[in-house]
Amino acid sequence: MMLVNTDYIAGRELEMLGIVKGSTVQTKNLGRDITQGLKNLVGGELKAYTDMMNKAREVATARMVEEAAKLGADAVVNIRYASASIMQGAAEVMAYGTAVCFKKSEPSA
């Protein structure tokens, strides 16, 4: 399945099937949360949270692709990601886009 963040795919005529999305809520365990909180004192990247958000995007994307596949899509265009804090140490990540299929070209006469 082709995934793009543009609203077109060069050289392809698209038929829109509908909006598809996938989401997940991820959290870190309490021990990790405390150690990452201490990192706030000295600054720098919060690696555990970066890893958590990367994993959340992967899961959300996979769920979006699964939903598109059920519609018979060849691709998802105009993909976007959104995130929101649910509670301290937990975040929701949503991936969404438009499922499309490639129009078959007509044979030339």
User: What is the number of domains present in the chain?
Assistant: 1
Question: Is the pLDDT score of 39 beyond 60?
Answer: no
pLDDT band at residue 84 under the 50/70/90 scheme? very high
Task: Look at residue 91 in the predicted model and tell me its pLDDT.
Answer: 85
Does residue 107 fall inside a structural domain?
no
pLDDT band at residue 59 under the 50/70/90 scheme? very high
Q: Is 93 exposed, middle or buried (0-12, 13-18, 19+ CB in 10 A)?
A: buried
pLDDT band at residue 19 under the 50/70/90 scheme? very high
Greater model confidence, 37 or 59: 59
Determine the structural domain holding residue 30 and report its residue range: 2-102
Q: Residue 43: give its domain's CATH number.
A: 3.30.110.70
Phi, psi of 49 (to 5 degrees): -75, -35
Model confidence, pTM: 0.81
Does residue 109 fall inside a structural domain?
no
